[in-house]
């Protein structure tokens, strides 16, 4: 979806001062390569889910400096007049490659690469990271919650606890891509076609003289989709009995009840028994109340009779780990002859040492099972011979090796923009959702564990490994 919103000024101020510096020193046309990648999976999981690319695309298409932007920059008295004039006709003319939304992603590997003149490549950093970090975080959390539900529907209920309106809307979008069945947010459905769902609030029940009247009135208005909130007063003594009474009186056999407090395992089991004894086996039980993947997993392990879940604050804010650590780092520049010169960032923290050069990423799938075996990062112009056995190193322990054979390699990064033109057919949200489900299904269960998942191999080609080691050793002299 194209919002036609200009977010060009949603940039860290130093992006602008650096750009002015590039302009003043004659470096504005220096071609640069920047990678977006992340260093660790939220919640200690085995993988993350990429999301937010559609918003990046819309942002790039609408990049421009309006007159009020120029006036603001001029008021800071920091920027060259010629630079401000340059910004009046500013547009993105570079190239972008990215991983499609819904794709499982792993630490260290590029999930988006920008090739562009220095000023362009620098200015887009903040928004690209904002879009990918936020939605990848919520998609990753949502997918964990959806997998914990073991096929039962999960609806996103978190708008009122989200970090602002954009957090609610884009969080709902990301959660749907990752497998949520719908959202309580009407505007997210309107904008993104994420199905809006809802029941009733406790206030509806309290507005009427008694619980029975509240239930009967609601079922009269919505006889084909009534879900009654049964915990306003007492779930088992009044809520479920009044729901059963109304369902019988109005001949409703398909609908639901929602429990929003208390011991959900105990209450759902008792409620299920009562509904079945009343001849209402098709009435569903929905549970909410500060749920996450761990609580849902425990509820089902304990035998809870719950058909679907509404999950709010712990999904929409990824409360357990509310930051996705994606970064945007320079990987290479082009010299005057157009040759690519790799660049590396070195740190005393080994995890922060970057992988240099313009790269491509392959995912290797075992032919016998269709399962993803490893990701393989190589130089952009390498042509790996994937017909031969390939030796990989464990990303967490390089002394561990694995030799893979009989596999199919698929490129992960696809062209999005070429010379500033969109060359990517943006998928519908349903297509991205289906892609996510397929790709997650290709991961081994060991990688999908919530705790202590198997370390998925993300390895470098020998040529790329040699380039990195050469830059590391050269920097020590």
pLDDT reading at 477 higher than 60: no
Q: What is the pLDDT of residue 3?
A: 57
Q: Does 152 score more than 60 pLDDT?
A: yes
Q: Which pLDDT score, from 0 to 100, does residue 64 have?
A: 96
Which pLDDT value is given to residue 397? 58
pLDDT at 198 over 90: no
The per-residue pLDDT for range 35-62, each reduced to its tens digit, is 999 999 999 999 999 999 999 999 999 9
348: pLDDT confidence band, cut at 50, 70 and 90?
confident
pLDDT confidence tier of residue 474, bands split at 50, 70 and 90: confident
- What confidence tier does 476 reach under pLDDT thresholds 50, 70, 90? low
Mean pLDDT within 203-231? 97
Q: What is the mean pLDDT of residues 381-398?
A: 81
The yes-or-no verdict on residue 394 having pLDDT over 90 is no
At 460, the pLDDT band (50, 70, 90 cuts) reads: very high
Please state the length of the chain. 477
- At residue 399, does pLDDT exceed 70? no
| Residue range 163-186: mean pLDDT, rounded | 97
User: pLDDT, tens digit, for every residue of 116-149?
Assistant: 999 999 999 999 999 999 999 999 999 999 999 9
Mean pLDDT of 152-177: 96
Q: What is the pLDDT of residue 88?
A: 96
Is residue 422 predicted with pLDDT exceeding 80?
A: yes
3-state secondary structure the chain: CCCCCCCCCCCCHHHHHHHHHHHHCCCCCCEEEEEEEECCCHHHCCCEECCCHHHHHHHHHCCCCCHHHHHHHHHCCCCCHHHHHHHCCCCCCCEEEECCCCCEECCCCCCEEEEEEHHHHHHCHHHHHHHHHHHHHHHHHHHHHHHHCCCCEEEECCHHHCCHHHHHHHHHHHHHHCCCCEECCHHHHHHHCCCECCCCCHHHHHHCCCHHHHHHHHHHHCCCCCEEECCCCCHHHHHHHHHHHHHHHHCCCCEEEEECCCCHHHHHHHHHHHHHHCCCCCEEEEECCCCCHHHHHHHHHCCCCCCEEEECHHHHCCCCCCCCCEEEEEEEEECCCCCEEECCCCCCCHHHCCCCCCEEEEEEEECCCCCEEEEEEEECCCCCCCCCCEEEECCCCCCCEEEECCEEEEECCEEEEECCEECCCCCCHHHHHHHHHHHHHCCCCCCCCCCCCCCCEEEECHHHHHHHHHHHHHHCC
Residue 442 has pLDDT above 90, yes or no: yes
Structure confidence at residue 5 (pLDDT): 82
Task: Please report which confidence band the pLDDT of residue 475 belongs to, taking 50, 70 and 90 as the band edges.
Answer: confident
**Residue 398 pLDDT class (50, 70, 90 cuts):** low
Name the pTM for this structure: 0.96
CATH of domain 13-138+322-475: 3.20.140.10
The pLDDT value given to residue 320: 96
CATH of the domain spanning 199-289:
3.20.20.70
pLDDT at 347: 85
Where in the chain are the domains?
A: 13-138+322-475, 199-289
Angle of helix 53-61 versus helix 125-148 axis, rounded to 10: 160
Grade residue 7 by pLDDT with cuts at 50, 70 and 90: very high
Query: Rounded to an integer, what distance in angstroms lies between the CA atom of residue 205 and that of residue 22?
Result: 63
How much is the pLDDT for 400? 63
Q: What is the pLDDT of residues 69-105, one digit of tens each?
A: 999 999 999 999 999 999 999 999 999 999 999 999 9
Q: What is the percentage of the chain residues whose pLDDT exceeds 90?
A: 93
Confidence check: pLDDT of 1 > 80? no
């Amino acid at each position: 979806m194209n919002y036609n919103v200009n977010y060009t000024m949603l940039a860290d101020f130093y992006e602008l001062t650096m750009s002015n510096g590039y302009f003043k020193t004659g470096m504005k046309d220096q071609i640069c390569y920047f990678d977006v990648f992340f260093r660790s999976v939220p919640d200690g999981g085995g993988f993350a889910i990429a999301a937010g690319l559609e918003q990046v695309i819309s942002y790039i298409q609408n990049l421009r400096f309006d007159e009020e932007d120029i006036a603001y920059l001029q008021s800071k008295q920091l920027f060259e007049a010629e630079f401000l004039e340059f910004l009046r006709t500013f547009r993105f003319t570079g190239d972008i490659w990215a991983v499609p939304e819904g794709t499982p992603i792993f630490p260290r590997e590029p999930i988006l690469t920008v090739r562009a003149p220095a000023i362009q490549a620098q200015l887009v950093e903040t928004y690209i990271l904002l879009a990918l970090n936020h939605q990848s975080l919520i998609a990753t959390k949502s997918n964990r919650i959806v997998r914990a539900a073991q096929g039962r529907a999960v609806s996103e209920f978190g708008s009122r606890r989200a970090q602002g309106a954009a957090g609610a809307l884009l969080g709902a979008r990301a959660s749907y891509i990752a497998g949520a069945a719908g959202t309580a947010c009407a505007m997210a459905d309107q904008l993104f076609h994420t199905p809006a769902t809802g029941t009733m609030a406790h206030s509806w029940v309290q507005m009427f003289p008694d619980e029975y009247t509240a239930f009967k009135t609601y079922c009269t208005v919505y006889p084909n989709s009534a879900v009654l909130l049964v915990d306003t007063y007492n779930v088992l003594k009044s809520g479920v009995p009044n729901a059963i009474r109304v369902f019988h009186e109005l001949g409703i056999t398909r609908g639901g009840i929602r429990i929003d407090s208390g011991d959900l395992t105990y209450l759902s089991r008792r409620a299920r028994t009562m509904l079945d004894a009343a001849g209402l086996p098709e009435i569903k039980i929905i549970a909410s109340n500060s749920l996450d993947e761990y609580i849902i997993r425990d509820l089902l392990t304990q035998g809870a009779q719950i058909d679907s879940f509404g999950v709010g604050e712990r999904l929409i804010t990824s409360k357990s780990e509310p930051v996705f650590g994606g970064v945007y780092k320079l990987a290479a520049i082009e010299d005057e002859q157009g040759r690519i010169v790799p660049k590396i960032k070195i740190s005393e923290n080994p995890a922060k040492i970057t992988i240099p050069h313009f790269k491509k990423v392959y995912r290797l799938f075992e032919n016998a099972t269709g399962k993803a075996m490893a990701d393989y990062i190589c130089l952009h112009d390498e042509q790996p011979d994937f017909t031969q056995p390939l030796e990989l190193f464990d990303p967490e322990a390089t002394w561990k090796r694995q030799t893979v054979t009989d596999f199919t390699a698929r490129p992960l990064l696809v062209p999005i923009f070429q010379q500033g033109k969109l060359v990517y057919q943006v998928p519908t949200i349903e297509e991205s959702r289906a892609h996510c489900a397929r790709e997650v299904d290709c991961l081994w269960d060991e990688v999908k564990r919530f705790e202590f998942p198997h370390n998925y191999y993300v390895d470098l080609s020998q040529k790329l490994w040699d380039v990195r080691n050469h830059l590391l050793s050269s920097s020590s002299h």
